[in-house]
Amino acid sequence: MAAASHLLSYQLCPSYNYRKPIISDKKILPLSFCRYGSPCFDPKAPSRKNPYPKIMTVSGKRQLEVVYDPEERINRLANEVDKNTGLSRLTLFSPCKINVFLRITSKREDGFHDLASLFHVISLGDTIKFSLSPNKTQDRLSTNVPGVPLDDRNLIIKALNLYRKKTGSDNYFWIHLDKKVPTGAGLGGGSSNAATALWAANQFSGCFATEKELQEWSCEIGSDIPFFFSHGAAYCTGRGEVVQDIRPPIPLDTPMVLIKPQQACPTAEVYKHLVLNQTSIVDPKTLLEKISQNGISQDACINDLEPPAFKVLPPLKKLKQRVLAAGRGQYDAVFMSGSGSTIVGIGSPDPPQFIYDDDDYKDVFISEARFLTRGEKQWYTEPNSSFSEIEDPSSTTETPSSI
């Protein structure tokens, strides 16, 4: 059942349509669209609290109205948990990343490839709400977008299962994922979600594990996840799981624009088209040193996965070429992030005008972003927001439930 107040009405006669607004006390209760994707009544409408059944007469017909508010029920259950724990609910920002450069250096015996890349967290991200569940058997995940798996195929659930396996914790959660990072974008949105879930689970357990342990464990479920336990900028090698924290080599206020077409680039398919002897021969450490000393430049933002990605998705090559041509010096560099399909323009938050004018790009995802880091023993926060919310039993502030 969706996480919203639903007004269920049962008439004592047929022909009731539950999708129509219900007449109550001679007022039309406004039907709106919830952020979680389900129709619901306007949260500002009256009679949301203390649901109860009542009999009323509409146009001479008797009608039994049953008001059921699952959100209130979940909050009530969470409050029961509050009595026995110091931390019951936590809201965290889950930022994505870009690869400023990405070199593929060799193929491994295990079938994976060795890479060397400058990863950097950016300000685009999801928001994840965690609530301790009285249920000690399974987690419960909801999201605001269709198509996202809600079972153990999701990296959030995998991360929580991993944490319980490593620590013996018996905490289970209600989780709501407010997703803004597109999937199949080369931005590591799912990996960030997993890292955020591990961080959250550790907070609920009183920081039982160290950040280093969380980072080491996380590589068991994804190569990009360990990076998010850096402070935001890292030189990554191996499959991506060998993370060397570095000082941010690029000013954090450097603007950028992200442009992603609807089509995704399946990572496995991109690697199938990779030809190692056709990749760059530039030493990745030389690229890192160049960016650290001179800043972003087009020749330093090499991505060895661009040629195979352009074979998998030919329109992506055209998009990059058009952004480069239309930028006319607007961008310091234009490149693809990860295995695609996001094209990044560094130096300006604005896309070129053709993105708005050309019908071929009417459905692209566009977002501006900045580079982002985190402090010691703190998780990432969205700029100009207070996304890291912790509630304790003494708090009197009402928090909207997410399940």
Largest CA distance in the chain: 83
Q: Please report, as a single letter, which amino acid is at residue 111.
A: G
Candidate list 97, 129, 260, 320, residue with the active-site label: 97
* C-alpha distance from residue 175 to each of 126, 201, 389 (Å): 13, 11, 14
Beta carbons of 101 and 287 less than 8 angstroms apart: yes
Known active-site residue 224: yes
SS3 256: strand
SS3 400: coil
Spell out the SS3 assignment of 71-102. Answer: HHHHHHHHHHHHCCCCCCEEEEEEEEEEEEEE
Known active-site residue 357: no
* C-alpha distance from residue 145 to each of 5, 107, 138, 193, 226 (Å): 19, 36, 22, 15, 26
3-state helix, strand, coil in the chain (%, to 5): 25, 25, 45
The C-alpha atoms of residue 399 and residue 389 are separated, in whole angstroms, by: 10
Candidate list 126, 224, 304, 332, residue with the active-site label: 224
The C-alpha atoms of residue 280 and residue 105 are separated, in whole angstroms, by: 9
Angle at 122 between CA 117 and CA 123, to 5 degrees: 175
The C-alpha atoms of residue 324 and residue 322 are separated, in whole angstroms, by: 5
Q: Please report, as a single letter, which amino acid is at residue 316.
A: L
Closest among 345, 304, 302 to 321, alpha carbons compared: 345
Known catalytic residues? 97, 224
